[in-house]
Structures are given as C-alpha cells and as structure tokens.
Chain A
Amino acid sequence: MRSSFAIDIFIRVLLFAFIGVAWNLLGGYAKQLSLGHAAYFGLGAYTSTILLIRFGVSPWIGILAGGVVAMLASLPIGALCFRLRGPYFAISTIAVAQVLMLLFLKFRDFAWGAEGTTLPNLGNSPWMMQFSAKAGYYYIALAMLALGLAVTYLIERSWMGYYLVAVGEDESAAEAIGVNAPRIKRNIYMISAFLTAMAGTFYIQYIYFIDPNTAFSFNVSVEAALVSIVGGIGTLWGPVVGAVLLEPTSALLQSWLGSSHGGVQVTVYAVILITVILWRPTGLLGVLTDAYERIVNAFPARTREAPLDG
C-alpha cells in the first residue's frame, strides 16, 4: 500500500514534468503564457478513449492519433489566440479550454457527456496500455518525459531555439532581423499540443476513467505552467525540477491535511507557490545556476547592482 502511494507520486511527478516540458516549449522559450493546455490534454484523452471503446483501437495508436488531433486543433486555436498578446493571450487560451469542456459535456451519445465512462478493464495487457502493476505506467511516463526532454534539447540547440527565445524577448525586434514570428509560434504550438495530448491519453489509461471535468481540468493547465515557472521557465530541466518539488508537496499536503482540514492543503500549497515566485522569479533552477556561477566567479567577486531592499 505504502509503496503503491509512493509510486503513484513518482508517476505524477513524471507526468507533470512531461506536461511542463511540453508547455515550456511555447510558454518558456517563446514566452507565450498559455493557461489552456488542458484543451490538448483533453483532446488527446478523448481521442484515444473514443478510439479504444468505440473502435477497439489500441491506445498506443490512440496516443499518436490524439497527438495529431491536438496538433490540428492548435492551428485554428493558435490563429485566434496569437492575435492577442500577454495576459490577453493567456485569458483567451483559458476560454478555449473551457469551451472544449462544455462541448464534451454535450456530446452525450458519442463521448458519454457529463457522466463520463470507465475504461474496460482488460487485465494485464501491455498492447492495450494496461498493466496490473503500476511499474508499467511508471516506465511509460519516464519514456514520455525522456521524449519531451529530447525534443526540447534538439530544439534548444538548433536555429529554432534562437528564434523562439528572440520572439519571446521582443517579437518586433525579432521580425526586423527576419524571424517569421507567426510561423514559429504556430509550429512550436503544434509540437507543444502534440506532446500535451500524449499526456492526456496516458493519464486516462492510468486512472481508467474519463469525463470532461477530468480531461479538460483547469488544474492541468495551471500545473503545466506552474511546474515550469517554479522550476525555471525556458530551461531544459526547469519543469522537471518544478514537478519534483511541487507534485510530492501537493500529494503529501493532500494526504496529511486533506481529510482532517479540508481546503487547508490548497492554502498551504498556494503559500509555497507565492513564496517561491516572489523569492526567485527565475525559478529554482535559476537559484542553482546563480549559486554555481557565484562559486565559479568567487575570485574576483563580481560587483552587482545592489537590490533596492539593500
């Protein structure tokens, strides 16, 4: 029982690190702060589940099909939302995810509406992405995270990485030196959506249940952004660091305080987040890099501008 709880936390860490990595491509490198990645999580989840239950298609195919659906959906959604900048962009992405949730609440015949559905229990059948032991899910989550990190690594070290950061820093200045900002934003949004949809399929296979509130949960959108922001936005390992810190904290707070003092765990969680963000806006990875640089550059000590608070 105890180890099952631990491995569940491990899986959640890996899953949210992966979602964070997917989010970070768009939100971290290109600084397009999406708060609607649940849209793609949900589309991935529903695509593979509908394929599985209605057509008997293996979720291994479903996970790719969900990715493609999310990628295609990101085109019109991006065309709409990228017209807006900054907080307006963020708000519009929230709205899109909410609209999708409402649509799936209405799809009663095809997608089980508000009641949702449980997935057929096929016992231990790896070909259908179902495992009797949690270790199976653990390895899938680990593999997905590895994939996400590999994609990020390759992008970061190619011309695309330079273009994304340039767009994130100053879109107009980037366009002046030939960066096709609309196109690069569209492309990175497609990649980000594909990966996020994979996480959606995996999650539903893991919990054996789907309904619109789970699949399009605002929590997913928020966690995707938070693990990146807390860990270190626009860095390869930032979302991983963030997920390692936040997911166990959230799960442990839930199990310690959730039953006895309902709601308290959310408050404590929020206080931790606010502290981290106020204390170090560059994220925890920023703290570590700064510390490293300080040690390396200890002699001679670098003079920095004194902070306002002395």
Chain B
Amino acid sequence: MAEALVVRNLSKRFGGLRAVADLSFSVKEGETLALIGPNGAGKSTSFNLITGYHRPDAGSVFAFGRELVGLPPYDICALGLARTFQVGRPFGTMTVLANVMTGALLRNKKLHVARARAREALEFVGLAARENTKAHDLTTIDERRLELARALATEPRLLLLDEVMAGLNPSEMDQAVGLVGQLSKRGLSIVIVEHVMRAITAVAHHIVVLDHGQQIAEGTPNDVLQNEEVIRAYLGTGYAHHTTSPDAQC
C-alpha cells in the first residue's frame, strides 16, 4: 500500500521547551493511526506541524507524495488533509448548515452543490436535524459532530482528529467509534489523537506513543499496550493488570 502520510525527523522547540523531537512515523493509505501519550507529549503540536499551523525547526512532512512543510493550512487542506481542533471551533453566528457548507465550498463554489454536500456530511455525523441551529447554541457533543462534519465536507483523503472523543459518555463514544470505523472502511486514512484507550484499541491499526516530544514506542495496539516503557510513562503500572477495564484513561 502507498503511504498517505510520511513524517520524517520532525522537530519543534518553543523557547527552551522541546515540544517535538525527531519524530518519524508514516500512515498507509486506508490505515488508522493513533497518536497517544500524556498531556504535553507533543501530540497537538505534531498536528499543528503537519497541517501548517506551526513551521517545524527541522524535518519534513509528505502527504500523498507532496512536501507540506512551508505550505499554509488552506493549501494543505486543499491537498486532501482535513483536521479537527481539540477545542471545537465552530463559526458561532452561522447556522450548522452554513458552517459545513463553508467546508464544502472548497471543492465547489456553487452554493447548491455545497449545500447538498454539507447535508450528506451532517446526515453522516447525525446532526441533520439541527442544520438551522446557530452553532453557538450547540451542546459539546454536537459541537464535536459539527467539527467532524465540517472537516469531512472538504472531502479529505486523510483525516486528523484531535481528541474528538474527550468528554463523551460511553454510548456517545460508541457512536463516535462507529463513525471513525465507517470512515476507515470508506478508505479514508486517519490519524487520531486520543486519551481514551477503549476508543483507540477499537479503531487504531497502528499506535505511536509520544512522551516529552519523543516517540517511545510504535506498533500494533497489542504490542504497544504490553510495552513496559509505555505502561510506565503513560498508562500507569496498574494498567497491565486491567487491560479489560473499559474506561482506562489518562
């Protein structure tokens, strides 16, 4: 399989803080990769480096064979990479439908085409009934749905999801896991940052573990979750004995 995303030796410092150090990983087309690690490990910074919000000090990012470093976020999105933000960032005064249409307009500037495309995305995330609600009136979970629908409306080939499941209750999380699974089945490549281990093991084909900006482990979910260093740095020593616990999270 071809590589959707290749990250090579990516590094970023903020003043004295080493946010990301020499990070390398790759995502095959159609694969779902989870980036995990404690708070401050550099997961969101990695997203910002990949999607053009920060410029790396060193290293390179290739998506579908094109170098992304130096491109602005909107060009990266046009190449087929869509991201969500950790804190939902809806366009508050716009309706839900208008929010998603704004994403859909990337591929077609005709409003009626964008509207149809946006409705499909809203249908998919289960927000179709709220299309006329002003975005700032949404609940947190609906805000997440909107964030996902808006990203999907740009018709990405690679989706970067930044903690879309944080704060969801177990049944909402099952829905979210189901959505990510469906997207993956459609052939979308996905990079997901998440703390909820249950969700990660359900969707990820591959896991990269970060700590202090460095990659400390990589592999299939089973391999990684048995890894001594991962347990010490992130999961906690109790985790090895409770791998069946559904709500283990950091």
Give A contacts to B, CB under 8 Å: 157-159, 162-163, 165-166, 169-170, 172-182, 234
Contact = CB atoms under 8 A, between A and B. Distances in A.
For B74, B83, B109, B111, the residue with the greatest tally of chain A CB atoms inside 10 Å of its CB is B74
A177 B98 contact: no
15 contacts: A157-B111, A159-B109, A159-B111, A159-B114, A163-B105, A166-B102, A173-B85, A173-B89, A176-B73, A176-B74, A176-B85, A177-B154, A178-B105, A178-B106, A179-B102
A303 B111 CA distance: 33
B91 A178 contact: no
Interface string B72-85: 11110110001101
B93 interface: yes
A25 B222 CA distance: 55
Contacts of A166: 91, 94, 102
Given A173-B91, A176-B73, 14 more contacts: A159-B111, A159-B114, A162-B102, A163-B102, A163-B105, A166-B91, A172-B53, A173-B85, A174-B91, A175-B72, A177-B82, A178-B78, A179-B74, A179-B102
A128 B85 CA distance: 57
Range class of the B interface residue count: 20 to 34
B161 interface: no
A177 B153 contact: yes
A204 B115 CA distance: 45
Contacts of A175: 72-74, 77
Nearest to A183: B74
A230 to B, nearest CB: 18
Q: Is the interface of A mostly helix, strand, loop or mixed?
A: helix
Contacts of B110: 159
A274 B196 CA distance: 50
Contacts of A174: 91, 102
Contacts of B101: 162
B156 to A, nearest CB: 10
Interface in B60-116: 72-75, 77-78, 82-83, 85, 89-94, 98, 101-103, 105-106, 109-111, 114
Given A159-B114, A172-B73, A178 B92 contact: no
Interface of B: 51, 53, 72-75, 77-78, 82-83, 85, 89-94, 98, 101-103, 105-106, 109-111, 114, 150-151, 153-154
B91 A176 contact: no
A165 B82 contact: no
B148 to A, nearest CB: 12
Contacts of B90: 173
B133 to A, nearest CB: 12
B77 A177 contact: yes
A162 to B, nearest CB: 5
Contacts of A180: 72, 74-75
Given A162-B105, A166-B102, A181-B74, A176 B94 contact: no
Given A159-B114, A175-B74, A176-B83, A169 B153 contact: no
Contacts of A177: 77, 82, 102-103, 106, 150-151, 153-154
**Which 9 pairs between the two chains have the least Cβ-Cβ distance?**
A178-B106, A173-B89, A169-B91, A178-B77, A175-B73, A177-B103, A159-B109, A159-B105, A162-B102
A138 B51 CA distance: 53
B103 A165 contact: no
Contacts of B78: 178
B111 A169 contact: no
Nearest to A177: B103
B106 A165 contact: no
A182 B101 CA distance: 20
A157 B40 CA distance: 43
A179 B106 CA distance: 7
Contacts of B106: 177-179
Contacts of A158: 109, 111
Contacts of A165: 91, 93-94, 98
B114 A178 contact: no
B118 to A, nearest CB: 10
A162 B85 CA distance: 20
B181 to A, nearest CB: 23
Contacts of A169: 91-94
Contacts of A178: 74, 77-78, 103, 105-106, 154
Nearest to B48: A172
Contacts of B75: 180
A172 B105 CA distance: 17
Contacts of B89: 170, 172-173
A162 B100 CA distance: 10
A182 B73 CA distance: 11
Contacts of B153: 177
B119 to A, nearest CB: 15
Contacts of B77: 175-178
A159 B118 CA distance: 13
A148 B108 CA distance: 27
B117 to A, nearest CB: 12
A169 B90 CA distance: 8
A157 B109 CA distance: 12
